[in-house]
């Protein structure tokens, strides 16, 4: 009996938790770019823009599909990890600890109105905690990655 009560209670709790979720807004160290594109369109545009850059898609993960299989409907939500092996080797030579941050991730979220937003933490922000180890060279590599990520974001969000 208890099992039958827990399933509906769990679905209700998840529904209430996602009801309070709001569209992403700017925050320290992040780039947040709302678009008129749908979630699927923005995912495709982001993957294409990464492919046309000096970066590569390294990982991709999101809870939307798995939640749907469990009967829970949530807005489109996907993280796309992107990086470049040349940068990985250079950063690793400067700070072993810094490589925990690679790949740096783009975040595609569906907005309440059905449009989508592309967000990411700037690589300079992501790698800043390792500046004591990697010094000016790590900061320079992170700035180069900032430019690559900005280029991908610009291409992906262009209309």
The 3-state secondary structure of the chain reads CHHHHHHHHHHHHHHHHHHCCCCCCCCCCEEEEEECCCHHHHHHHHHHHHHCCCCEEEEEECCHHHHHHCCCCCCCEEEEEEECHHHHHHHHHHCCHHHHHCCEEEEEEECCCCCEEEEEECHHHHHHHHHHHHHHHHHHHHHHHHHHHHHHHHHHHCC
Q: Using one digit for the tens of pLDDT, what is the confidence trace for 94-149?
A: 999 999 999 999 999 999 999 999 999 999 999 999 999 999 999 999 999 999 99
| pLDDT recorded at residue 76 | 95
Q: What percent of the chain has pLDDT over 90?
A: 82
CATH number given to 2-157: 3.30.310.70
pTM (2 d.p.)? 0.85
* Residue of higher predicted confidence among 6 and 65: 65
Is there a contact between 48 and 152 (Cβ–Cβ < 8 Å)?
no
| pLDDT recorded at residue 9 | 43
Q: Read off the pLDDT band of 5 (50, 70, 90).
A: very low
Question: How many CB atoms sit inside 10 A of residue 147's CB?
Answer: 11
Judged against a pLDDT cut of 70, whether residue 8 lies above it is answered with no
* Residue of higher predicted confidence among 54 and 15: 54
| Cα–Cα distance measured from residue 132 to residue 135, given in angstroms and rounded to the nearest whole number | 6
């Amino acid at each position: 009996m208890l099992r039958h009560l827990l399933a509906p209670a769990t679905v209700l709790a998840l529904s209430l938790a996602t009801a309070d979720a709001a569209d992403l807004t700017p925050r320290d160290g992040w780039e947040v770019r709302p678009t008129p594109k749908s979630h699927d369109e923005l995912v495709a545009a982001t993957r294409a823009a990464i492919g046309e850059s000096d970066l590569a898609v390294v990982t991709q993960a999101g809870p939307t599909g798995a939640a749907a299989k469990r009967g829970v409907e949530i807005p489109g939500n996907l993280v796309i990890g992107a990086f470049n092996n040349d940068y990985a080797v250079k950063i690793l030579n400067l700070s072993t600890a810094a490589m925990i941050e690679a790949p740096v991730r783009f975040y595609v979220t569906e907005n309440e109105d059905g449009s989508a937003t592309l967000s990411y933490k700037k690589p300079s922000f992501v790698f800043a905690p390792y500046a004591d180890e990697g010094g000016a060279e790590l900061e320079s590599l992170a700035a180069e990655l900032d430019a690559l990520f900005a280029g991908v974001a610009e291409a992906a969000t262009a209309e």
